[in-house]
């Protein structure tokens, strides 16, 4: 009797990775933490914010959308950790050998992990950004301009927060696959998102001005901003920078996955 032949498909690999994603406690806990950080920080900042007297920089540049997205830096670290754990966690447990035995072509596994981490992070954090804005807008001081979702640029900025955080999750997947260590991937991610922007402040102004806009966190701020800043990249350029980081990281991860043993 001939054994049935099973054909491996991209949909099957995606379904398998989806099942693994939700079966891991770390996945949904980290995803929930990212949304909680985004919403909680936005509400705290909106409730405690006091505009400066006169025309200080805080009064000029801060708006209800910016307040709602105050927790985006914390959420970015959380979703990046989600991506790292999703990919590097299999190397820690040794499960990667079983995964690559089931999917000998290897690369569909990486693409599926990136799609799942990026997609779930984008949807969940976009919902969190909307919740933060809707709950926090009534708390901002009366002297600030009142905004609602129908105002120009508001919905775009909030959804862009989800897009930025989804791309950070994809970068996390790439880092986890590239370094094959949860601790190493998280350390690199935290360094790029949190430490590197501070280090550029130590550089001469001419250097810092040319580097700052191209850092992932600053490019994310650009696409999430309600108004354009003359010193920052344009929104399409900021999105291109973020997509470039994700593509380069995934490309390097794909090369190592294809060329080296698990």
- pLDDT tens, residue by residue, 185-212: 999 999 999 999 888 888 888 888 889 9
> 155: closest CA among 163, 145, 167?
163
DSSP conformation class of 151: S
Residue 180 φ/ψ region, left for φ over 0, alpha for ψ in the -120 to 50 degree band, beta for the rest:
left
Q: Across the chain, what does the average pLDDT equal?
A: 88
**141-155: per-residue pLDDT in tens?**
665 666 778 788 899
- Alpha carbon distances (Å) from 247 to 127, 138, 168, 176: 25, 39, 11, 14
Asked whether the predicted pLDDT for residue 62 surpasses 80, the reply is no
Residues 6 or more apart in contact with residue 180 via CB below 8 angstroms? 88, 91
Is the pLDDT at 3 greater than 70, yes or no? no
Tally of CB atoms within 10 A around 24: 16
What predicted TM-score, i.e. pTM, was given to this entire model?
0.90
Structure confidence by residue, pLDDT tens digits, 90-127? 998 888 998 888 888 899 999 999 999 999 999 999 99
């Amino acid at each position: 009797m001939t054994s049935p032949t099973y054909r491996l498909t991209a949909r099957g690999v995606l379904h398998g990775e989806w099942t693994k994603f939700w079966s891991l406690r770390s996945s949904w806990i980290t995803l929930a933490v990212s949304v909680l950080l985004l919403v909680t920080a936005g509400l705290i900042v909106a409730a405690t914010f006091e505009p400066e007297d006169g025309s200080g920089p805080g009064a000029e540049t801060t708006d209800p959308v910016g307040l709602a997205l105050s927790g985006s830096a914390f959420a970015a670290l959380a979703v990046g950790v989600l991506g790292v754990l999703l990919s590097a966690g299999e190397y820690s447990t040794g499960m990667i050998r079983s995964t690559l035995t089931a999917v000998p072509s290897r690369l569909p596994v990486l693409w599926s992990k990136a799609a799942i981490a990026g997609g779930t992070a984008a949807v969940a954090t976009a919902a969190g950004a909307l919740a933060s804005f809707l709950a926090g807008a009534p708390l901002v001081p009366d002297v600030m301009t009142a905004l609602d979702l129908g105002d120009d640029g508001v919905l775009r900025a909030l959804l862009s927060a989800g897009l930025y955080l989804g791309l950070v999750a994809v970068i996390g997947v790439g880092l986890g696959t590239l370094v094959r260590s949860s601790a190493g991937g998280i350390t690199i991610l935290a360094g790029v998102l949190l430490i590197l922007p501070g280090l550029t402040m130590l550089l001469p102004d001419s250097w810092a001005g040319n580097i700052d806009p191209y850092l992932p966190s600053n490019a994310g701020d650009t696409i999430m901003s309600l108004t354009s800043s003359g010193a920052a990249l344009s929104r399409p350029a900021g999105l291109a920078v973020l997509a470039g980081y994700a593509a380069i990281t995934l490309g390097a991860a794909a090369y190592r996955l294809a060329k080296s043993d698990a």
